[in-house]
Amino acid sequence: MTKGIALILATVSAAAMATPAFAQSDSNFDGLRVEALAGYDIMRPGSTTDIDNNDDVDQTIDDIAYGAGIGFDADLGSVVVGAEAQYIRSEASTEYDTTGFTGFGVSNVDVGRDLYFGARVGVPMGEQTLIYGKGGYTNTRLNVISTDNTTDTGTNVDLDGWRVGAGVEQAISPGLFAKVEYGYSNYEEGEFEAPSGLESDRFGVDLDRHQVMVGVGARF
């Protein structure tokens, strides 16, 4: 994980050093951008499937998350519009003790990669600050490890859903920026992929996800 974060930061730093070689707009919010991201990731059942009547049941898995993003913005004066994509890895996972479940087995889940493709619309607050909202498509992968304490079996579950969020971007210097944003995702459909490569029919799910991410990046 540490090597992954270091590689992302090194990539953004190298891009920032190369920024003067590109012609830039006078706007701090116009053009191609790349960014490194880190923050906190929380996933839990949605309101149609959670257990609301038992406060002793912890249905949440959460941990740090990190990744990278790329986007393009157009400053139209009173509004900034753009498209973006993000790749995020999460360390969130369950930690069930599987000992004693030899009869039926039990599974543990690791949250894997998270993909997002969407658009954002922002309002400049002066020349240095942009307040924006975002929304689009998200796909995440859960890595499910089932065991009977003799044999472990890995299965992937791909989930499709939508994401909305909001954030603040602050220009640090020409070509460099920092940001903080919140994203809410809801996953509504899923698909199992067996170790053999066979895929299941699509099925309905209801999972909520909350992410708070900070980022640093370069704009060209």
Tell me the pLDDT tens digit for each residue of 8-44. 444 444 444 444 444 456 889 999 999 999 999 999 8
Most confident of 95-99, 144-148, 184-188, 191-195: 184-188
Q: What is the mean pLDDT of residues 144-162?
A: 78
Q: What is the mean pLDDT of residues 53-75?
A: 84
CA atoms within 13 A on the CB side of 210: 7
Please give the pLDDT value at position 109. 84
Q: What is the mean pLDDT of residues 160-177?
A: 96
Residue 52 in contact with residue 43, Cβ under 8 Å?
A: no
Please give the pLDDT value at position 22. 42
Among 185, 173, 189, smallest CA distance to 213 is for: 185
Q: What is the mean pLDDT of residues 169-180?
A: 96
What's the CATH number of domain 2-219, 2.40.160.20, 1.10.3720.10, 1.10.1040.10, 2.40.50.140?
A: 2.40.160.20
Task: List the domain boundaries for the chain.
Answer: 2-219
C-alpha dihedral (65, 114, 13, 165), degrees to nearest 10: -80
For residue 52, give the DSSP letter.
T
Residue 45 in contact with residue 206, Cβ under 8 Å?
A: yes
- Residue 189: both structure tokens together: 């459909």
Residue 122 in contact with residue 29, Cβ under 8 Å?
A: yes
For residue 199, list its beta bridge partners.
Answer: 193
Among 146, 149, 144, 140, smallest CA distance to 189 is for: 140
Q: Give the residue, 109 or 82, on which the prediction is more confident.
A: 82
Among 72, 79, 84, smallest CA distance to 37 is for: 84
Between CA 155 and CA 113 the distance in angstroms is 14
Please give the pLDDT value at position 47. 72
